[in-house]
Amino acid sequence: MTDNRIPDSLDSLWTTCHLATLRAGEDGYGVLNNGALAVKDKKIVWIGPESNLPEGIRRRTPTVHNLGGAWVTPGLIDCHTHLVYAGNRTGEFERRLNGATYEEITRHGGGIMSTVNAVRAADEEDLYMQSVLRLKAMQAEGVTTLEIKSGYGLDPESEMKMLRVIHRLGRDFPVNVMPTFLGAHALPPEYRDDPDGYIDLIVDKMLPAVASGGLAVAVDAFCERIAFSPAQTERVLRAAVSLGFKVKLHAEQLSDLKGAALAAQYGALSADHLEYLDKDGIAAMARNHVTAVLLPGAFYFLQETKKPPVNHLRAAGVRMAVSTDCNPGSSPCTSPLLMMNMACMLFGLTPVEALRGITIHAAHALGMEDKAGSLEPGKRADFAIWDISEPAELSYGMGGNPCRLVVKDGEIVIRREDPYTTGRDDVVL
């Protein structure tokens, strides 16, 4: 922990609470009962037992929030989303449940190309407005940082449109948005017979344009039989790294193409999905400190049966993050809390692993671990305040939302009204 001396003047003080700090150097929740947290200049500057607060500091602090015994966690981090898209795939969902085959669904214009067509047809404002609803749903569950990928445009103009919308969401809402370019998400119809030609377009035109426009921080690709081969993926990763992008990869979701090891070789922040990950892939991730991003929503929605090798990842010391994978085709989900529950029930994570997975380990998956993901002095004052009796309750619930307040850069940005307020006069919310 960095310097934890309390400064003479503060912007705000948060008292009468229990904290799950998730601080570095601990495996558990980092619980601090009867704690307090001090904020100055949008950062956490002090955290400790309330009884250690110096004499007179309350009087000198402009805003003191008495939280009435609530729990405080770091703001949640959703490190893998495709939140910006147009339309939805409800029709396809209904046809599937009425017994339609994959071929029939595709014939009716279903599948990822229906989303690509909807995104290409949508104007920028419409794409933005449709995405705002999903972003707000996530914020209401305590999300203060999220990654959003492009990847439904699949041509230079539409991919740039998506990235501009992603940036605008980050500017307009009190949330940190990490934009990721996912041009290599699927093969666009124009290149059906020339996949390498599409990779040429990404490497020669799209990546340099994204770099010069400052439109993305990271580059991702989908390495899978139904998407891009390891050789094609490697061309994208190599070009991305040479342009200074961080990289990550959709790997081993439906088959084992050794994508995670390839990602590790290129210094990836994360490899994501990983149902078919083998022991060599796990070893490569452990050696190179690649975070494993688990996406139980897609596993559930696609009714997969092969689970990611959680026991082996745990034994190898690979950090495991948990994310919604919010997307219209395989995880139409805006609930990080439900993903924590599913990570426990479907993949066997413990509740503390699920909470670490959607806070500090998710921060690692975005390369933001020095700024976010735990309650520690020096980090952004991003936190969520919950009406729960212990931290495991966040993983326990299926539906419902006990988030009372969301704080971003030290300011309350979401305030849950009754029935979650305590009704006590002495509790200032």
Number of residues that bind Zn ion (CB under 5 A): 1
**Minimal CA–CA distance to 114: which of 326, 328, 331, 324?**
328
Residue nearest to Zn ion (CB): 325
Query: Closest approach of Cβ 295 to Zn ion, in Å?
Result: 7
Interface characters, 198-227, with Zn ion (x: CB under 5 A): ------------------------------
Q: Which is nearer to Zn ion, 300 or 396 (CB)?
A: 300
Between 325 and 387, name the residue whose CB sits nearer to Zn ion.
Answer: 325
C-beta of 303: minimal distance to Zn ion in Å?
17
How near is the Cβ of 365 to Zn ion at its closest, in Å?
12
Residue 250 Cβ vs Zn ion, minimum distance, rounded to whole Å: 5
Report phi then psi at 94, rounded to 5.
-70, -40
DSSP, res 281: H
Name every residue whose Cβ is closer than 8 Å to that of residue 161 and which is 6 or more positions away in sequence: 119, 124, 127, 153
Token pair belonging to 112: 């990822």
* Shorter beta-carbon distance to Zn ion: residue 44 or 186: 186
Burial class (CB in 10 A: 0-12, 13-18, 19+), 9: exposed
205: which DSSP letter? Answer: I
Q: Is 392 exposed, middle or buried (0-12, 13-18, 19+ CB in 10 A)?
A: middle
Least separation in angstroms between residue 362's CB and Zn ion is 14
14 to each of 49, 50, 144, 182, 407, how far by Cα in Å? Answer: 11, 9, 18, 40, 11
Interface with Zn ion in residues 40-79 (CB under 5 A): none
By C-beta, is 323 or 359 nearer to Zn ion?
Answer: 323
Which one, 252 or 325, has the nearer CB to Zn ion? 325
**Min. distance of Cβ 182 from Zn ion in angstroms?**
8
Backbone dihedral region of 85: left (phi > 0), alpha (psi from -120 to 50 degrees) or beta?
beta
Q: How far is the CB of 346 from Zn ion (least distance, A)?
A: 17
Q: How far, in Å, CA of 26 to CA of 24, rounded?
A: 6
* Bridge partners (DSSP) listed for residue 36: 48
177 has which bridge partners?
Answer: 146
Q: What is the spatial distance between Cα 413 and Cα 175, in angstroms, rounded to a whole number? A: 9
Distance CA(241)–CA(219), nearest Å, equals: 9
Omega prior to 49 cis, within 30 of 0: no
The amino acid occupying position 419 is P
How far apart are CB 131 and Zn ion at their closest, in Å? 15
Would you say 92 or 325 has its CB closer to Zn ion?
A: 325
Least distance to Zn ion, CB of residue 223, Å: 12
Of 275 and 325, CB closest to Zn ion: 325
Q: What is the DSSP letter of 43?
A: E
CB nearer to Zn ion: pick between 299 and 383: 299
Tell me how far CA of residue 21 lies from CA of 17, 24, 112, 191, 384, in angstroms.
12, 9, 39, 49, 11
Per-residue interface string for the shown chain with Zn ion, residues 305-334, x marking contact by CB under 5 A: --------------------x---------
What's the min distance (Å) between Cβ of 321 and Zn ion? 13
Q: Give the nearest distance from C-beta 296 to Zn ion in angstroms.
A: 13
x-marked contacts with Zn ion along 251-290 as a string, rule CB under 5 A: ----------------------------------------
> Taking the CB of residue 121, how many other CB atoms lie within 10 A of it?
12
Site string for Zn ion, 181-200 (x = CB under 5 A): --------------------
| Binding to Zn ion, residues 323-382 (CB under 5 A) | 325
Name which of 335 and 374 has its Cβ closer to Zn ion.
335
Closest CB to Zn ion among residues 234, 325: 325
Q: Which helix (H) or strand (E) holds 219?
A: strand 218-221
Pairing of strands 411-415, 403-408: antiparallel
65 vs 149 by CB, closer to Zn ion: 149
Chain residues binding Zn ion by CB under 5 A are 325
